[in-house]
């Protein structure tokens, strides 16, 4: 069972470069989320989506963009990479059949901006 798959697992970017973090899930989940986790901190929500074509900002959306053209995919885009965006990024999904369904997480993308 694949679950939530994130690519790449590691990436180093130069300041000002752009990239897309990929996230796909095969559980037919409606809800998908992007979080960032900084050392010693909890997770902070960047963007989330309650279904295809619908996205909403979380706590820390500045510097990021998302799209949700399909149920399966929820890519996160960094347009102008900054050192403050060095972090571990996690994608998660959950079923729309009641929000009391647990979230399923990917293994993360470790991103360094130099």
Other C-beta atoms closer than 10 Å to the C-beta of 103 total: 16
Cβ at position 38, least distance to other proteins in Å: 10
One-character DSSP codes across 45-109: EEEEEEETTEEEE-S--TTEEE--SSSSB--EEESS--GGG-EEEEEEEE-SS-TTSPPEE---E
Q: Rule CB under 8 A: say whether 103 interacts with other proteins.
A: yes
CB nearer to other proteins: pick between 14 and 42: 42
Specify the DSSP class assigned to residue 40: T
Q: What are phi and psi of 84, to 5 degrees?
A: -65, -15
Cβ at position 65, least distance to other proteins in Å: 18
Q: Rule CB under 8 A: say whether 102 interacts with other proteins.
A: yes
Using CB under 8 A, which residues numbered 31 to 90 contact other proteins?
33, 35, 40-45, 48, 50, 58-59, 90
Q: Rule CB under 8 A: say whether 92 interacts with other proteins.
A: yes
Q: Which two tokens stand for residue 55?
A: 């996205």
Q: Could you list the residues that contact other proteins (CB under 8 A)?
A: 4, 33, 35, 40-45, 48, 50, 58-59, 90, 92, 99-108
């Amino acid at each position: 069972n694949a679950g939530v798959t994130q690519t790449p697992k590691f990436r180093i970017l130069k300041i000002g470069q752009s990239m897309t973090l990929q996230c796909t899930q095969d559980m037919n989940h409606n809800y998908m989320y992007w979080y960032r986790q900084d050392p010693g901190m909890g997770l902070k929500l960047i963007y989330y989506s309650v279904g295809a074509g619908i996205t909403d900002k979380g706590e820390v959306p500045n510097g990021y963009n998302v799209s949700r053209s399909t149920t399966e995919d929820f890519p996160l885009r960094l347009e102008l990479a900054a050192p403050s965006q060095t972090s571990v990024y996690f994608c998660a999904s959950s079923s729309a059949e009641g929000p009391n369904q647990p979230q399923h997480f990917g293994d993360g993308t470790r991103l360094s901006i130099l």
